[in-house]
Structure 1
Amino acid sequence: MRTKVTALLVSLAALWIFAAWVTVRDGLNLAWVAVYNSNVAQPSESLLVELQKERRLTVSRLVSPVLVSSADLSAQRSRTDAAAGEFRRLASSDTLRFAATDELRKRIDRTFRQLDQLRSVRHAVDARQVDRGKAISAYNGPIDSLFQTYYSLATLDDDQLAKDTRTLISLNWARELISREDALLTGVIAAGRFGQAEVAQFTQLVGAERNVMDLAKSDLEEPLPDVYQRLQKSAALSQLHSLEDLVAQQGRPGLRAPVGGEQWQSASSAALNQLHDVVSGAGETMVDRATPVAVGVITRLVLAGVLGLVAVIASIILSITTARALVRQLEKLREAALELANERLPGVVARLAQGEKVDVKAEAPPLEFGPDVIGQVGAAFNTVQETAIRTAVEEAQLRQSIRDILLSLARRTQSLVHRQLTLLDVMERRESDPAELKDLFRIDHLATRMRRNAENLIVLSGASPARAWRRSVPMVDVVRGALAEVEDYTRVTVMPMGETALLGRAVGDVIHLLAELIENAVSFSPPYTMVQVGGQVVASGYAIEIEDRGLGMSAEDLEATNQRIADPPEFNLSSTARLGLYVVSRLAERHGIKVSLKASPYGGTTAVVLLPRDLVIEGGEDLPEEETESGLPRRGTGSRKIALVGAPEAVSAPVQEVVPVPRAPEPPRPLQSVPPPPGDADPDPDRPAPSAGFTPSGLPFRVPQANLAPALAEESRNGDEADDEEDRSPEDIRKIMGSFQSGTRRGRSEAAKLLGDEEDNL
């Protein structure tokens, strides 16, 4: 805006300056009449007279050297050169160059060039290499240039002055024609006869001179009546005209002139001198007339220029004040728009994200911009900002509603999955067929994965999953719990995790986080490759590395993914391609966990999960039970399985081709005896391992307390019955449990028979 107004003002000022200069310069043209007269007219008139004299003497010298001596001719040439030098000096002055027009400067320069050619003419005359006709033509050249200069002086802005100036120039041109008649007839008289074409030339000159003289006198009658009367009554002109008529009538080629030399020279000199006086006097009169006219014109022009300047200044002031007011309003509008875009609208969105209620009227106060066009734009902006904030509120409410719907669906799905897992647990406990038990364990695994998907919805909705633990859990069991929620867990190798435990309050979220990363590693690597999971204590906490042997990711993708995890964007329903990363970022943010991806030296990708030091316990020490916010101890497990708060199921370590073991610390039940996933290390090497033996009916033996968490197993060994069991060998325990199972089956069979007999008796 400022630039445009400045450009407008500069162009307006430049236009005024140009117009003022052109106008004042035209007025100064009249004031420069005196400059033209003193620097061009007067010196050129003297030069013109001297050139005319030198032309006459040159013709006489060429005809008869006796009539004109070389000394006389040289003296005249000196006078001509002096007049030419004075003309050059005055016509080349800076004052005249500044006042003259381009056309006048060009004609003055042409006159200088014609004067320079006189040297060659004079040499030719001295060498008698030219006749009198060519000599006359050579002198006519610079004289014609002088008259062209005179006509350039007549371009004045005052019409009457310009007309009078042209009249005087015409009168002076008539004088030049008389001078040419004089030079021609002087040569004829000196030669004693007319040449072949000289009679016709003389007659033409007389006709031209009479015509120019008559026109000049008619133009002088009104503006210069004194001059007109003087010319009308001039005896010298009358005598000259009489001689001209006589020569024109009686002159013949080859004959003598009908007038004598002295008679002609006397008449022509008198006429020339009179015309010279008339032209000089009239010129001075015109100069005097031009001065007051020029002053009046310049005064009017200056007045108009001053008024124009005042108008320009007023326009500048008005434009500046108006522009400032406009710019001030526009800046206010811009600041309001920037404040809305950068502060108020993000603040409203942030407050809405925190669940606060927002008053649209209070957050979008109307701004006053006046009743003009910008005020109307401001009113439109008020509507825009109110609509923007209202839309943000409605969108936040819509997002909250969607989150509530997701949370409700997730809670319902979670409840159903919990009930399904409970039912599966009951079915597993009473099933004895190995094949059916295997299928039940697979369904158990699918249900566990379904629970993770439901928890994903809970995380996306902004809530927290319900799983929590009252005791710390060994890190190896946390990893195994994550494997229980991965479909292709058999491809995962668990490296030694060390004697480190995880606080119970972070167990559920860490299991979920690791499950998402392990699932991602397994899904994006070839089926014949293995995924390694290992962990170790580092300076800032505990680091878990998940490494796959897949195709890997580009440096740009790794950077974008790490940025997305470190600074998760607002959840958008349209960006469903990488919901797992969003879940991981939210879970990591909740506990201050750092997750980063890097290129693996094997060509795949390595995910590094850095647990902060305040979440890990080194050395396998047990912590006291964690309390809830109400001061009550959290529910926990009594075995190796990890129990949910408010849910009956648990997460356990997976086994090959069999879904995790039952989820609650209930009485032992049959279990297929297969080794844990490849690479798993038993954190308690003293605990008996499962036996590969089978009962006579084909069912595998189950080792008591084989699936308890290390801390819980340690508690069991330290209990009342621990002393008795420490001395039993694994084989003895297997026999005892086999006998217990056989007795249980016999008891159930006999009870069924008794019930059947009683029904028959009834």
Structure 2
Amino acid sequence: MGFRNTRLRTKVTALLLSLAALWAFAAWVTLREGVNLLWVSQLDSSIISPSEPLLVELQKERRISVVKLSSSGIRSRKDLENQRKQTDRLITAFKESATSGIVDFALDDEGSRRLTDVFGQLDTLRQTRQAIDSGQMDRLRATSTYGDVIDSIYGLYGSLATLDDKTLAKGIRTLLGLSRAREVITREDALVAGALAEGRLTPAEHAQFTQTVGAWRVLADQAAADLAPSEKANYDKLVNGQSFTRLRNLETLLSEQDPSAGSLPFTADQWKTTADRALADLNTLVLTGGDRMVDQAVPVAVNVVIRLVLAGGLGLIAVIASIILSITTARALFAQLQKLRDAAHELSDDRLPGVVERIGRGEEVDLAKEAPDLDFGDDEIGQVGQAFNTVQRTAISVAAEQAELRRSIRDILLSLARRTQGLVHRQLTVLDVMERRETDPEELKELFRLDHLAIRMRRNAENLIVLSGSTPARTWRRSVPMVDVVRGALAEVEDYTRVTLMPMGDVVLVGRAVGDVIHLLAELIENAVSFSPPYTNVQVSGQLVANGYVIEIEDRGLGMKPEDLEANNARIADPPEFRITGAARLGLYVVSQLAKRHEIQVVLKPSPYGGTTVVVLLPQELVQLDPTPESQDGGPRERLPRRTTAVATAIRPVTAENVRTLKPARQAPAPEPAAPAPAPLLTPVEPEPEPEPPAEPEQRPVTEFTSNGLPLRVPQANLAPALRDDTPTQPDYEEDDDERSPEEIRAMMGSLQSGTRLGRSEAAKMLDEQSRGEA
């Protein structure tokens, strides 16, 4: 299953690599034979050829050393010194040839180990010679010591006979067996020559002689059994010839002689002549067989070369042709697949979103033009391309239907929201009329509750309008004090009594952003109140900063995880497309849309009290310094009208000393042309004191009449001047008739707070009365 999921390019590459590996294996199998022949040739020239004369000279030195141990004559000592010099010269040449750089590559581990053993045995010759010269070694030990050195060389020969051709390898092993038999004969010759020089053969030497005779005959017979028929005939002729017959006769005489006899049955000259002739004939047989092995190796080498050319050259040509064909085919295949892939990406990344967006805007879409058929040929990939064309048309059709469905749903939501908004506006108007004419505190309290619920319903209706991509109808033309904006947001929060409002400063908000900022703050404050314990408060504060105006909303709840904070901040900064299935947190989506509309930055961060702090940064374009403090009535700013006679407690804003200079709010035109210049921006503009009217004992209002002759009622006309409220009951603000201004909301909230305090006082009195009655 893993290989099925592999990319096509990887599969083609694996196929080419497997083909190349197969060719490399076949070429190596053939090349290995040629390399083996090359290594054998190198070993023959570097090790075997230099060691053969060394082997002969060691055999001669052994014979002369044994003779020297039997006779202390000057001639034998001089012959030994000359032989040792000849042997040392050949040892030096052998070591130089065997330690050349290329021999290390030709030898395997076994061959390297045996070559090291040969070098070690050759180094022991110095101690052996010293022992012979000092007379500390007898003839048997000297013969055995030289035999160990010579045996190490034959062991090296055995590790080098590693030809892959079985016939050649068998012939080489047979010749080595005959050469070992000749070595045993030379060992026998040295032992007998020493005994002849002394004139007697000790019982130990006699036993050793008998074993040596049996050893060379066994080795020769075993090697001869593996000879080719032609070679076997030459061996039989040699063994049955005159030289070996005389050698066997002398060996028989010496073997049958009593070991205690004081003399030998033949002379030294007879033995030397017979032994030299037999060794020379056997050596000729071995060398002749080696030459024939070389002649047989020539066709094998030629055959190896031919197979190497066929497997290497022709196979390489076939591999190269296969690679070229595979690459060209794969490129054409990849080009078609990439074209199909690019078409799929274009459909998913460009066409479908574009079609959906255009349908969402209500445009007509030509599906045939938006999804032209792609031509991929008539092969298998072309058939896949035709299927893709069908899928493409179907996908665009479905996307168009889905986009039309979403647009329809969005229009339905917007229509329902507009209707709900209109009904809520009418409901608020009715409640306003009822609140004004109601005098019963309990009934007024219930009306305030209905009024508050209606305001929250209006915010929910506006949420649907925002989710539908439209703009709510509430707008202001003139600036509104920031504290009134925040109070208007509090009026739309259910549990507003838990919110603590800090001083907001003498700052006004431009009219075009008042409705959206009220809505945004209401959503954030509602969220803070909802996700914090009921016994905690939510604090709202604001101040001027270098980049505008900051409002902080801090709760004392459980807070949010860092990953949740990061995800919510990302959702607010870059709001995703609204989907009906992703309506888990509509409040954050509404906040993000409102903030995006006015470039307002909203950031959530951990609060040091364990909850969450929301930082709302209003840009400089939306805020202005208030040139008219709250303590003065009238002026150029738009004050939010009151809807009830109750007056909320005003919070005196505090102006910071290090705030950034902002442009003041637009002031109303002065009544006279020569009006005094305004004060600096950071200092609230104090209006000039008006001249006090002349004191009159009593001022009576002028009675006005309607067209029917009835007197016109003027509110507060009969009140004392100190008790009059100059705020008009129906202010002139540029809102829809069914909208409520922030000033009205502030007045209503003040009345609600007064009623709440009254209710708490009455509840406390009832508890006191109950406790007194129980006492």
With normalisation by structure 1, the TM-score equals 0.71
**What stretches of structure 1 of length at least 5 have no aligned partner?**
621-639, 643-650, 655-659, 662-672, 696-700, 713-762
Q: Which residue does 2:331 correspond to in 1?
A: 324
Q: Which residue does 1:287 correspond to in 2?
A: 294
- AA paired with 1:594? I
How has the CA–CA distance of structure 1 residues 357 and 138 changed in structure 2, closer, same or farther, with 3 Å as cutoff?
same
Q: Which residue does 2:731 correspond to in 1?
A: 709
- AA paired with 1:706? P
Q: Secondary structure at the match of 1:108?
A: helix
- 8 Å contact from structure 2 (residues 114, 155) kept in 1: yes
- AA paired with 2:118? T
How has the CA–CA distance of structure 1 residues 568 and 69 changed in structure 2, closer, same or farther, with 3 Å as cutoff?
closer
- Is it true that 1:156 corresponds to 2:163 in the alignment? yes
Over the aligned positions, Cα root-mean-square deviation in angstroms equals 4.9
Q: Which residue does 1:278 correspond to in 2?
A: 285
- AA paired with 2:130? H
My pick for the range that moved more, 278-287 or 215-224, is 215-224
Q: Which residue does 2:600 correspond to in 1?
A: 594
Q: CA deviation at 1:468?
A: 5.5
- 8 Å contact from structure 1 (residues 32, 99) kept in 2: yes
Q: Which residue does 2:128 correspond to in 1?
A: 121
- 8 Å contact from structure 1 (residues 59, 183) kept in 2: yes
Q: Which residue does 1:70 correspond to in 2?
A: 77
How has the CA–CA distance of structure 1 residues 119 and 386 changed in structure 2, closer, same or farther, with 3 Å as cutoff?
farther
- Is it true that 1:178 corresponds to 2:185 in the alignment? yes
Asked which structure has the greater CA Rg, the reply is 1
CA distance in 1, matches of 2:102, 2:536: 103
How has the CA–CA distance of structure 1 residues 72 and 527 changed in structure 2, closer, same or farther, with 3 Å as cutoff?
closer
How has the CA–CA distance of structure 1 residues 65 and 377 changed in structure 2, closer, same or farther, with 3 Å as cutoff?
farther
Question: Aligned match of 1:206 in 210, 213, 218?
Answer: 213
CA distance in 2, matches of 1:243, 1:617: 140
Question: Aligned match of 1:297 in 258, 282, 304?
Answer: 304
Q: What is the CA deviation profile of residues 672-729 of structure 1, one whole-angstrom value per residue up to 9, with x for unaligned ones? A: x432453389x9999x99979999xxxxx996973243679xxxxxxxxxxxxxxxxx
CA distance in 2, matches of 1:528, 1:101: 88
- 8 Å contact from structure 1 (residues 546, 607) kept in 2: yes
CA distance in 2, matches of 1:146, 1:353: 97
Q: Which residue does 1:679 correspond to in 2?
A: 651
Q: CA deviation at 1:370?
A: 6.6
Q: Which residue does 2:90 correspond to in 1?
A: 83
Q: CA deviation at 1:236?
A: 1.6
Question: Aligned match of 2:265 in 258, 278, 292?
Answer: 258
- 8 Å contact from structure 2 (residues 500, 540) kept in 1: yes
Q: CA deviation at 1:142?
A: 1.7
How has the CA–CA distance of structure 1 residues 431 and 49 changed in structure 2, closer, same or farther, with 3 Å as cutoff?
closer
Q: What is the CA deviation profile of residues 183-217 of structure 1, one whole-angstrom value per residue up to 9, with x for unaligned ones? A: 22223333333322333332332233334444555
Q: CA deviation at 1:131?
A: 1.1
- 8 Å contact from structure 2 (residues 185, 216) kept in 1: yes
CA distance in 2, matches of 1:88, 1:496: 103
- AA paired with 1:679? I
The correspondence of residues 213-612 of structure 1 with structure 2, limited to 5 A, is 213-217=220-224, 219-220=226-227, 222-224=229-231, 227-228=234-235, 231=238, 234-358=241-365, 363=370, 389=396, 392-424=399-431, 427=434, 436=443, 439-440=446-447, 442-467=449-474, 472=478, 475=481, 485=492, 509=516, 512-513=519-520, 515-516=522-523, 550-551=555-556, 564-573=571-580, 576=583, 578-590=585-597, 592=598, 594=600, 596=602, 608=616, 610=618
- 8 Å contact from structure 1 (residues 51, 80) kept in 2: yes
- AA paired with 1:231? L
With normalisation by structure 2, the TM-score equals 0.70
Question: Aligned match of 1:195 in 202, 206, 209?
Answer: 202
- 8 Å contact from structure 1 (residues 50, 80) kept in 2: yes
Q: What is the CA deviation profile of residues 359-381 of structure 1, one whole-angstrom value per residue up to 9, with x for unaligned ones? A: 56655556566788877876776
- AA paired with 1:344? R
- 8 Å contact from structure 1 (residues 544, 609) kept in 2: yes
- 8 Å contact from structure 1 (residues 193, 256) kept in 2: yes
My pick for the range that moved more, 333-342 or 66-75, is 333-342
Q: CA deviation at 1:140?
A: 0.8
Question: Aligned match of 1:139 in 141, 146, 160?
Answer: 146
Q: Secondary structure at the match of 2:265?
A: coil
- AA paired with 1:141? D
Question: Alignment identity in percent?
Answer: 53
Matched positions, count: 657
Q: Secondary structure at the match of 1:709?
A: coil
- 8 Å contact from structure 1 (residues 24, 302) kept in 2: no
How has the CA–CA distance of structure 1 residues 247 and 583 changed in structure 2, closer, same or farther, with 3 Å as cutoff?
closer
CA distance in 1, matches of 2:507, 2:112: 109
- 8 Å contact from structure 2 (residues 595, 602) kept in 1: no
Q: CA deviation at 1:595?
A: 5.2
How has the CA–CA distance of structure 1 residues 692 and 136 changed in structure 2, closer, same or farther, with 3 Å as cutoff?
farther
How has the CA–CA distance of structure 1 residues 352 and 494 changed in structure 2, closer, same or farther, with 3 Å as cutoff?
farther
CA distance in 2, matches of 1:249, 1:494: 136
Q: Secondary structure at the match of 1:69?
A: helix
- 8 Å contact from structure 1 (residues 61, 68) kept in 2: no
The correspondence of residues 687-726 of structure 1 with structure 2, limited to 5 A, is 706-709=728-731
- AA paired with 1:707? T
CA distance in 2, matches of 1:499, 1:53: 124
CA distance in 2, matches of 1:432, 1:89: 130
CA distance in 2, matches of 1:250, 1:532: 133
Q: CA deviation at 1:530?
A: 8.6
Q: CA deviation at 1:298?
A: 2.2
Q: Secondary structure at the match of 1:570?
A: coil
- Is it true that 1:167 corresponds to 2:174 in the alignment? yes
- 8 Å contact from structure 1 (residues 521, 531) kept in 2: no
Q: Which residue does 2:119 correspond to in 1?
A: 112
- AA paired with 1:296? N
- AA paired with 1:343? D
Question: Aligned match of 1:50 in 57, 70, 82?
Answer: 57
CA distance in 2, matches of 1:706, 1:344: 58
CA distance in 1, matches of 2:363, 2:238: 112
How has the CA–CA distance of structure 1 residues 455 and 54 changed in structure 2, closer, same or farther, with 3 Å as cutoff?
closer
Q: Secondary structure at the match of 1:707?
A: coil
- 8 Å contact from structure 1 (residues 62, 125) kept in 2: yes
Q: Secondary structure at the match of 1:259?
A: coil
How has the CA–CA distance of structure 1 residues 114 and 434 changed in structure 2, closer, same or farther, with 3 Å as cutoff?
closer
- 8 Å contact from structure 1 (residues 31, 294) kept in 2: no
CA distance in 2, matches of 1:566, 1:547: 17
How has the CA–CA distance of structure 1 residues 154 and 398 changed in structure 2, closer, same or farther, with 3 Å as cutoff?
same
CA distance in 1, matches of 2:265, 2:602: 130
